[in-house]
Structure 1
Amino acid sequence: MTEALAYTHYFTQSDYIIAFKELIKSKNLELERSFNPQEPVTPLLVAKAEFVDEILISGWDHFLGESADQLSLIAVGGYGRKELFPFSDIDIVVLLDKEASTETQAVLGQFCNFLWDIGLKPGLSVRTVEECIQSCIDDQTIMTSLMETRLLRGNPSLCAKVLEPINSGEIWPSNRFFAAKMQEQEHRYFKFHDTAYNLEPNIKEGPGGLRDMQIIAWVFKRHYGSSTLKELIKYGFLPESEYEELVTARNVLWRIRYALHLLTGRCEDRLLFDFQRDLAEQFGFKGADPNQSVEEFMQHYYKTVVGLERLNEMLLQLFNERFIGGKTTYQQIQTKTAKLIAINGYLEAETDSLFENNPLALLEIFLVIQQNPSLKGIRSKTIRLIRKSLHLIDDQFRTDKHANHLFIEILRQPRGITHALRRMNRYGVLAAYLPSFAHIVARMQYDLFHIYTVDEHTLFVIRNLRRFSLEKHTHELPFCNDIFLMIPRPELLYIAALFHDIAKGKGGDHSQVGEEIAQAFCRQHDLSRHDTKLVTWLVRNHLIMSMTAQRKDISDPDIIHDFATQVGSTEYLNHLYLLTVADIRATNPELWNSWKDALLKELYSATYNALRRGLKNPINISDRLEENKTEALEELLKLGISEATIHASWKHVGDEYFLRYTAEEIAWQTIAIASCDELDLPLVLLRPQTQRGSAEVFIYTRNEDFIFSISTETLDQLGLTILDARIVTTSDQYVLNSFQVLEQSGDPIKDLHREVHICTALRKNLKEHHINKQKNIRRQSRQARHFPIPTTISFHEDPQRRFTVMELITTDHAGLLSKIGHVLNDHNIQLHDAKITTIGSRAEDMFYFTDYQSNPIQDHETLQNLEQAIQSALRDHL
């Protein structure tokens, strides 16, 4: 480190802090200019670490040179390995032979201040040797950091005293260290939903990320004292080809991380949407459209990390055998054709020629694991053999009836289906057996509501369906568990789930194309005509239940009758309901809330009743109306409300009101209206919990312009998500408006003060016909600006010809509904109902309206003018 002496002259300058800052700035710029996304970054990492070494040594010699015998300066962690990224932490430890004197503390403080003043911002710990050793005993993560120690300056014997108990295995022997690291990895994986396929992955901490590589290095070094991963070959853990694969994967992730640091100007390890487009361009990915380049770049990333995840699995399994030790156990496994043996609970092929001689064993091995619960998985040697044998799964294999039978048997097993399919996907078997599935492996869906790649989403759907069948998960969604008990052949549900998104990215309607692929699969696998029809119908129609529940008025008997006609039978309804719930929950856990749960249950129950009654005997609207009215009256009388009071409260409402609301809602609103004097209007009440799991904000007042706009803008400013709006205007010009809302987090409103504040603010704004412009507490999604949704507006005819239906698709943003309300008011349009659906940054809203004479609007020019006005109003936001 003689070059370090060259830096000492900076301390003779009048303002040495500025001089060092300029030096660091110049070096960082030099390294940044040297970076090429197509070239390895190892030289740059080492160069940055050695440059920082010289700065630290220069400062150490200046401030602490006279204390050299009492202190040591050591680099640890990534800096200790000389893997210093542009904005990585600079972790250093100052070792003392005993408690620091006041004088030593003072000069250490000067040294530390110097480092901060010049912008290095080190992670600095000051410990005695004894403290350091005790910290290692108490916390294996501290010991892990100290395993990668480099002495920079000072007394080498102090460093040796710390390293001696670490290197000797006295502290955290390799078997305990390995167990601790496995637990650490398990917790880390759980944090990322046990998948590397998140759409905004963490390239360091996520499954398959750089931390997986470090885990391998740490446990290997702890046991063998190895300084390089290449010794994995020497000790028989990896063949040369897999070592190259490991190093290549690490280098890809290093290059991406280096670029990410430079792009963001900070220590950023998350591949956020904000950066993916720029990185795709840097790494040379170019597609027909901007999204395609991002998708190709991310697919490259996913394939890299899934390979690293697989190598991590294999190596840690081998480490477990060697490090944990104990007696090796052998168990002969009886199968129909394959010769397999279990070694320490892991399945292994008896001979290297197993798959060559018996290709069907490539499927049978996964079935064997399912049928033997004591087995932990497949042994690493056999995983390699599977990967080498994938070419055997050709067209002849795929059309072999024995292979087809084995695949269906995997889906019919009472346990282990999700684990089997995940292994098959990770080892490449699933994509080899189902070429259409290969198309969706690592394919991202560039939007805000699909947070996993298509293949990972598909496997999560199957996992969710499996959970409905297990008693230990009954508490999550008991209704789904009850419905699942009525499913005679669950494998048909799993097949439908496997194919529901199989055609994503192929162009056209993925449901329709997926139906054709599913049909070919069913025929090849000899499913009966009945089962084939069910599976293909589910694939084709897997979206209709969620769309009906969220975008149509399911209190309308005609809507229920139309949906029941589409479904056709309770058998199809049961399957569709379970697939719909599993699909939504696997798309993005944050999309599922009590509102969607209650809405789908309500649609299921209403459809089930319609099917039981018979499609030729639909509920008559007048019967439904009278039924609601009678139930509400009976409920109110039970509560002690007089009949005269009830009818007085209903004097302003017409038949539409009793059709649009449930008896329970009518009773609650009637009590509110009965207790309100005309002078007290507008009446604003909030019911924090309804049958649909949301809060209901109810407004009763005389009809005036902009009530909908003022209401929605106020609720929006208060940070509430509007799920549904029902607008009833009576013949004598009273309005009964009801909004179903949740907190933006998806939680119900739980705080009484919050309820009062919402009602007070809304009543004030309605009374004053004005909203004070204030900060909107609704949080706009960081990612939303990367997914602008073009505004499209279409008009449909209501089947009952009561309303004009407007469908609006656009980018969701603060004040959206208020803008729509203003435009409708300006065009003398009376709003009757609104179905609000927000998926990520995408708003898909339905508005039901008439003119002020309650007639549907059919004039083409009027509708065209309305569309132009809405486009103009929303364009300002975009």
Structure 2
Amino acid sequence: MSAEQPLSQSAVDTEALQAMLSQAGNDIGAYRQYLSDLQEELRQRFYDEQPVSELVALRSARIDALLRCIWDQFEWGDDIALVAVGGYGRGELHPYSDIDLLILTASDEHSYQDNIERLITLLWDINLDIGHSVRSIEECRQAAIDDITIVTNLMESRTLAGNPALHQQLMAKVGPDKIWPSAEFFRAKWDEQIRRHRKFANTEYNLEPNIKSSPGGLRDIQMIGWVVKRHFGAQSIDELRDRHFLSQEELDTIKDGQDFLWRLRFALHLIAGREEDRLLFDHQRTLARQFGFEDDDNKLAVERFMQKYYRWVQQLGALNDVLMQHFDETILRACEAETILDINPRFRIRNGHIEVTNDKVFEKTPSALMEIFVLMAHMEAIDGVRASTIRLIRNSRHLIDDEFRADPRNKNYFLRLLQAPSRVALNLRRMKRFGVLAKFIPAFGKIVGQMQHDLFHIYSVDAHTLELIKNISRFRYPDMVKVYPMACRIMQRVPKPELLFLAGLFHDIGKGRGGDHSTLGAVDAREFCEYLGLPKRDTNLVAWLVEKHLEMSSVAQRKDIQDPDVIRDFALTVGDQQHLDYLFCLTIADINATNPSLWTSWRASLMRQLYAETRRALRRGLENPVDKQEWIAETQMAAIERLEDYGFTETEIRETWAETGEDYFIREQVDDIVWHCRAIAQRTRPGDSVVLVKEGGLLDHEGATQIFVHTRGRVGLFALLAAALEQLDLNVQDARIYNSGTGYTLDTFYVLDANGESIGDNQDRINQIVAYLKEQLADPNNSAELISRRTPRQMRLFSTPTRTSMATDLNKGHTVLEVITPDRPGLLARIAQIFNKYRVRILNAKIATLGERVEDVFFLSDENNRPIEDPQLCEDIQRAICRELDEQASKSPQ
């Protein structure tokens, strides 16, 4: 059932159509031409901006005429009928929607088998996309008893041809007084909706949403119609307004929202040339142009278009929530005994749900619009909000104005909500769902539904923000300790969690305005904290967190956190333990709320290591930086003591380390140095390559697999190893390259498998890696074998030009190159080949994959182990990388 009845069949000249089609007889070509002309007419009318409600009804009426004409080509009695069911039964057909038919017979003895087979074959031959069933009245009744979907389809059925009395008999047998009483029907359909929503993670904000089945989509509108029809016997959602289940404003929202989604679905069908309900990236940009959106300095056209979509489905989803709860109270719980608990003069709890004591509560006491969320956060006895109160909140949002926001009571209520021991995230989500949060914090309203058109940010900005708040809340749950061990421990000692929630609310609020969103958000956060009347110290902390919320993940993923200078610089940024604790929790919550699938054990280990090293630096005192030579000497002596236990002499050990650079002893753990030295000493023949594989250490890169290679140095070695690891379907996360004066190289790679996990203790897999790498290293003439795999569909759509930047640090003795480019197979090996061409050495590599793109950082030197100081050489290297990667992207298999 639609929100309004579309174009009636009488608006189509059915008699003229019947006459024209009758002349076609059994001419398949004529029927095909008829359907082709119909599709072209629909296309033209749509692009001429004819109302889409008329177009879906027009196709339905034209198909009616075609089917009646074809039906009449066969001999039938009065004991059979052709019935339209489902969406076609409602008279709604988009350009490529299935045409669902029921051939209804009076008895189980199907005496028209030959004619039915010829009919169906003819419909297929003329390229009509039908779904059909052949059932007697009794078979339909039994099937409907067993399957809620069938009874739903039959509710929306109508007779196309044949004896209409059969359909009337059927409807009498499947009515709510015979099967599926309205209460059972509603419960089953609601459970069905819950399962459907769960498939889409219970959010409207999927990157490629399904406009029919995702939360807030067309199915949610249809759900309302089905319940109305089954319970009230109504033919239109309009009757909900007459029964005071809907206001006129809500009814208009449903109708306007359906019209938008119908136009979107109609356009999708035309673009795809088939039935398509998914808003795939392939189509989003095309639709954005068709719907009149254009790029500007702040947002892409596609981002504006998707924001409109997300705002519509959020409104429709919220209305669906209200009505489902209203139906629950009216249909399922109508006869339940009521338990009422008074809270105060404004609110009471009825059967676990909070409600206002009268309809004038918000009008008389506007602050109650904030108070209700505080009560729900602090009172465990409250399970939710009564539907009538939700509607009253929505209808009272206009009361939240400048005067309301200036009221000290409302500021206090908001702070009390953030200070609640639990359910902070849930009630902020309710505030957003009911439209209160965007009114109370107008800047938040601007990011509602705002999407970033990439594969990294899988939620809109507002949904991401509330997901971050939920993650912070999770850090206080005992059952989350195994998932986020360090964050949960730190959260226990955070003195004011409400400051963390405030920083989370504002961390991305500056997006979409142009400029640095962190800086813009920090300004907003400071103003809001001052407005709340927070102490200056707290205000400064929240603003700092917002401004620096990307700093910790950036340092962990893009800088060499084994370098004491990097740690000291970061420690100077955070300043003290409290700032470090708050920033760590905010960062972990932020990364997981951006795209949980990209939160790997590797990234977790980087964050833990950066936190631990920074904490040590803060305890030691920023005025007492680590002395590198002392660090190196301590590491070497610790390793020597361990190796002596295995029978090595100090002289043998130092010979093994001959001319090994200082970085090796700064960046490698003592356990790993001992592991390397023992393996090198124990190799069968001098000169043989050593390949070792093991799990990362307890802290240093826990969760990644460490691969150590000791072999003779040669041109192209790094490219060879990078290509070999990719052939093994391993993703390099970190690479450390140490060249010794003896002609050997010590390379350490940290890798994850294709699923973003470590190899673990899979000995067969470890043996395979060792054998393959040794095989590749055995031939001195072997070169990198670049792989060429099919590029995934989504990544092809985000093929943006490669960007590079290069900077030389004379003090640290290296040059840093950053490469930002779309991800693709063979990427690391291709970059390494360019380094070979320009005789550049790789000292270290930090690999970060963020959705469809990578942000790789390489620490380089020239062939004399000096920083690259020639500006022209730096320019040439960058141009070569951009040219190679962008040309390869254009040629990669599609």
Question: Could you say which TM-score interval applies, normalised by the shorter chain?
Answer: over 0.9
- State the partner residue of 1:848: 859
Q: How far 1:486 sits from its partner (Å)?
A: 1.3
From the superposition, tell whether residues 271 and 616 of structure 1 become closer, same or farther in structure 2 (CA, over 3 Å).
same
From the superposition, tell whether residues 600 and 772 of structure 1 become closer, same or farther in structure 2 (CA, over 3 Å).
closer
Residue pairs, 1:345-360, within 5 angstroms: 345-360=352-367
- State the partner residue of 1:715: 725
Q: How far 1:704 sits from its partner (Å)?
A: 0.9
SS in 1 for 2:468: helix
Correspondence 1:527 to 2:534: yes
> Matches of 1:142 and 1:267 in 2, distance apart?
21
Correspondence 1:264 to 2:278: no
SS in 1 for 2:300: helix
> Matches of 2:182 and 2:401 in 1, distance apart?
44
> Matches of 2:806 and 2:114 in 1, distance apart?
76
Correspondence 1:7 to 2:21: yes
> Matches of 1:643 and 1:69 in 2, distance apart?
104
From the superposition, tell whether residues 617 and 100 of structure 1 become closer, same or farther in structure 2 (CA, over 3 Å).
farther
Count of matched residue pairs = 869
Correspondence 1:864 to 2:872: no
Q: How far 1:37 sits from its partner (Å)?
A: 7.8
Correspondence 1:386 to 2:396: no
- State the partner residue of 2:705: 695
Q: Deviations over 1:589-633 (max 9, x none)?
A: 222111111111111122222222322333332343344445555
> Matches of 1:89 and 1:718 in 2, distance apart?
45
Q: Deviations over 1:276-329 (max 9, x none)?
A: 221111112234369532222222212211111121112112111211112463
Does the aligned pair in 1 maintain the 2:803–2:819 contact within 8 Å?
Answer: yes
Q: Deviations over 1:406-457 (max 9, x none)?
A: 1100111112211211121122211111122122122112222111111111
Q: Decide which moves more: 153-162 or 831-840.
A: 153-162
> Matches of 1:513 and 1:800 in 2, distance apart?
34
- State the partner residue of 2:204: 196
From the superposition, tell whether residues 801 and 210 of structure 1 become closer, same or farther in structure 2 (CA, over 3 Å).
same
SS in 1 for 2:734: strand
Q: How far 1:539 sits from its partner (Å)?
A: 0.9
- State the partner residue of 1:808: 819
- State the partner residue of 1:322: 330
Residue pairs, 1:212-227, within 5 angstroms: 212-227=220-235
From the superposition, tell whether residues 476 and 181 of structure 1 become closer, same or farther in structure 2 (CA, over 3 Å).
farther
Give 1:233's aligned amino acid: R
- State the partner residue of 2:750: 740
Q: How far 1:737 sits from its partner (Å)?
A: 1.8
Q: How far 1:637 sits from its partner (Å)?
A: 6.6
Correspondence 1:787 to 2:821: no
- State the partner residue of 1:549: 556
Q: Which of 328, 341, 350 is the equivalent residue of 2:348?
A: 341
From the superposition, tell whether residues 160 and 624 of structure 1 become closer, same or farther in structure 2 (CA, over 3 Å).
farther
> Matches of 1:144 and 1:640 in 2, distance apart?
80
> Matches of 1:269 and 1:463 in 2, distance apart?
30
Correspondence 1:273 to 2:281: yes
Give 2:30's aligned amino acid: A
Does the aligned pair in 1 maintain the 2:723–2:784 contact within 8 Å?
Answer: no
Give 2:715's aligned amino acid: D
SS in 1 for 2:73: helix
- State the partner residue of 2:734: 724
Give 1:480's aligned amino acid: A
- State the partner residue of 1:84: 93
Does the aligned pair in 2 maintain the 1:203–1:253 contact within 8 Å?
Answer: yes
Q: Deviations over 1:527-563 (max 9, x none)?
A: 2222222212111111111011101111222222221
Does the aligned pair in 2 maintain the 1:37–1:282 contact within 8 Å?
Answer: no
- State the partner residue of 1:569: 576
- State the partner residue of 1:452: 459
Does the aligned pair in 1 maintain the 2:808–2:816 contact within 8 Å?
Answer: yes
Residue pairs, 1:140-159, within 5 angstroms: 140-159=148-167
From the superposition, tell whether residues 25 and 321 of structure 1 become closer, same or farther in structure 2 (CA, over 3 Å).
same
Does the aligned pair in 2 maintain the 1:167–1:225 contact within 8 Å?
Answer: no
From the superposition, tell whether residues 378 and 623 of structure 1 become closer, same or farther in structure 2 (CA, over 3 Å).
same
SS in 2 for 1:62: coil
> Matches of 1:326 and 1:273 in 2, distance apart?
48
> Matches of 1:144 and 1:753 in 2, distance apart?
53
Runs of 5+ in structure 2 lacking a partner? 1-13, 890-894
Q: Deviations over 1:623-660 (max 9, x none)?
A: 43344445555666778889898667555744432222
Does the aligned pair in 1 maintain the 2:658–2:740 contact within 8 Å?
Answer: no
- State the partner residue of 1:461: 468
Give 1:746's aligned amino acid: G
> Matches of 1:475 and 1:100 in 2, distance apart?
63
From the superposition, tell whether residues 373 and 290 of structure 1 become closer, same or farther in structure 2 (CA, over 3 Å).
closer
Does the aligned pair in 2 maintain the 1:178–1:219 contact within 8 Å?
Answer: yes
> Matches of 1:217 and 1:800 in 2, distance apart?
71
- State the partner residue of 2:313: 305
- State the partner residue of 1:776: 788
From the superposition, tell whether residues 513 and 100 of structure 1 become closer, same or farther in structure 2 (CA, over 3 Å).
same
Give 1:294's aligned amino acid: V
SS in 1 for 2:842: strand
- State the partner residue of 2:6: none
Residue pairs, 1:535-614, within 5 angstroms: 535-614=542-621
From the superposition, tell whether residues 473 and 125 of structure 1 become closer, same or farther in structure 2 (CA, over 3 Å).
farther
SS in 1 for 2:888: coil
Q: Deviations over 1:115-141 (max 9, x none)?
A: 222222322233344443233222212
- State the partner residue of 2:8: none
Q: Deviations over 1:446-499 (max 9, x none)?
A: 222111111111111000100111124334323322221111211111011011
> Matches of 1:637 and 1:326 in 2, distance apart?
82
> Matches of 1:630 and 1:87 in 2, distance apart?
75
Correspondence 1:836 to 2:847: yes
Give 1:617's aligned amino acid: N
Q: Decide which moves more: 236-245 or 368-377.
A: 368-377
Residue pairs, 1:391-406, within 5 angstroms: 391-406=398-413
Give 1:478's aligned amino acid: P
Correspondence 1:436 to 2:437: no
- State the partner residue of 1:818: 829
Correspondence 1:369 to 2:383: no
Q: How far 1:258 sits from its partner (Å)?
A: 0.6
SS in 2 for 1:413: coil
Correspondence 1:50 to 2:57: no
Q: Which of 520, 532, 547 is the equivalent residue of 1:513?
A: 520
CA RMSD of aligned residues (A): 2.8
Give 1:439's aligned amino acid: K
From the superposition, tell whether residues 161 and 598 of structure 1 become closer, same or farther in structure 2 (CA, over 3 Å).
farther
SS in 1 for 2:493: coil
> Matches of 1:290 and 1:569 in 2, distance apart?
36
From the superposition, tell whether residues 135 and 775 of structure 1 become closer, same or farther in structure 2 (CA, over 3 Å).
farther
Residue pairs, 1:612-691, within 5 angstroms: 612-632=619-639, 650=657, 653-678=660-685, 681-687=688-694, 691=701
Correspondence 1:180 to 2:182: no
Give 2:87's aligned amino acid: G
Q: Which of 206, 219, 222 is the equivalent residue of 1:211?
A: 219
Q: Decide which moves more: 627-636 or 311-320.
A: 627-636
SS in 2 for 1:794: strand
> Matches of 1:138 and 1:747 in 2, distance apart?
44
Q: Which of 122, 127, 140 is the equivalent residue of 1:114?
A: 122
Q: Decide which moves more: 852-861 or 381-390.
A: 381-390
Does the aligned pair in 1 maintain the 2:348–2:354 contact within 8 Å?
Answer: yes
Under a length normalisation based on structure 1, what TM-score does the superposition of the two structures give? Answer: 0.93
Correspondence 1:31 to 2:42: yes
Q: Deviations over 1:204-254 (max 9, x none)?
A: 111111111011111111111212111111222112222112111111111
Give 1:611's aligned amino acid: L
Q: How far 1:360 sits from its partner (Å)?
A: 1.3
Q: Which of 479, 486, 499 is the equivalent residue of 1:479?
A: 486
